[in-house]
Structure 1
Amino acid sequence: MSDDPDLDAAIEDIQAKSNQVQAALARIRGTGTAGNGTVTAIVDSSAHLRDLKLTREALRWGDRLASIILQATAAAEKDAATQVQAAIRPLTRDQRVAAGIRSMRETLGQSNTEADARTMMTEEEIQAADDAYFERMNQRGWSV
């Protein structure tokens, strides 16, 4: 690698953490239920729907079934996002990685304040964004 054994060790450590994070992300399955447990949605770490389980009782929702499915999917996405945050923590808490991210933001002209403002949302804002997303998907149609 390089002539600096400390740098080599740091790179190996970050690579090992990255491999662990990738493996953890691959295992993530967010689960959400709705309709009093009659609908269960399961998504992966990228919030892609991987499974949808409907009990026999789910049919009683009739015209509301699509909405119930969307609620379960939104809950699964929220669950997966929480798991993703926990899974990437070994990298995001590593000061060497954080310094690299700060450096990239500075190079791109993006301050931490801008990034924090963009990512910090209230629960109401998150819900509104979810609602808007599902409304768009309902209008355009879902493809799996």
Structure 2
Amino acid sequence: MTDIVIYHNPACGTSRNVLELIRNSGVEPHVIEYLKTPPSRALLVEMIDRAHMTPRDLLREKGTPYADLGLGNTALTDDALVDAMMAHPVLINRPLVVTPFGVKLCRPSEAVLDILPGAQRGAFAKEDGEQVIDASGNRVR
């Protein structure tokens, strides 16, 4: 069985869609509700690096204290941005998915298809009705 981890927020539609796309590949992932159980600082830095991102790339602005904390200031160091994410996990954008094929911030949700080891097993539509996978398990677009 393939080990896949999703850093998930069940209140987020994109995160829910990614979780279901993973399940549609025949894998039950390890689900970590990162607002309840945030990653350690070392793990967060490692995932950012493995995803070929910067801490700024992973920052979430909408619905967070981003503006109040002045995180738009481009003079802030990567360490300062990671410190902010550790203090306020809601600043970590989601869903972040870890598979044997890499680490990826899966926005839009179908981005997860690039790092899943298995094929989709059937049709899949996002919560908004957008068809992503056809009945044969093929990507629609």
TM-score, scaled relative to structure 1: 0.23
Larger radius of gyration between Structure 1 and Structure 2: 1
**Which structure shows the higher helix fraction?**
1
Q: Which has the higher contact order (CA 8 A, sep 6+)?
A: 2
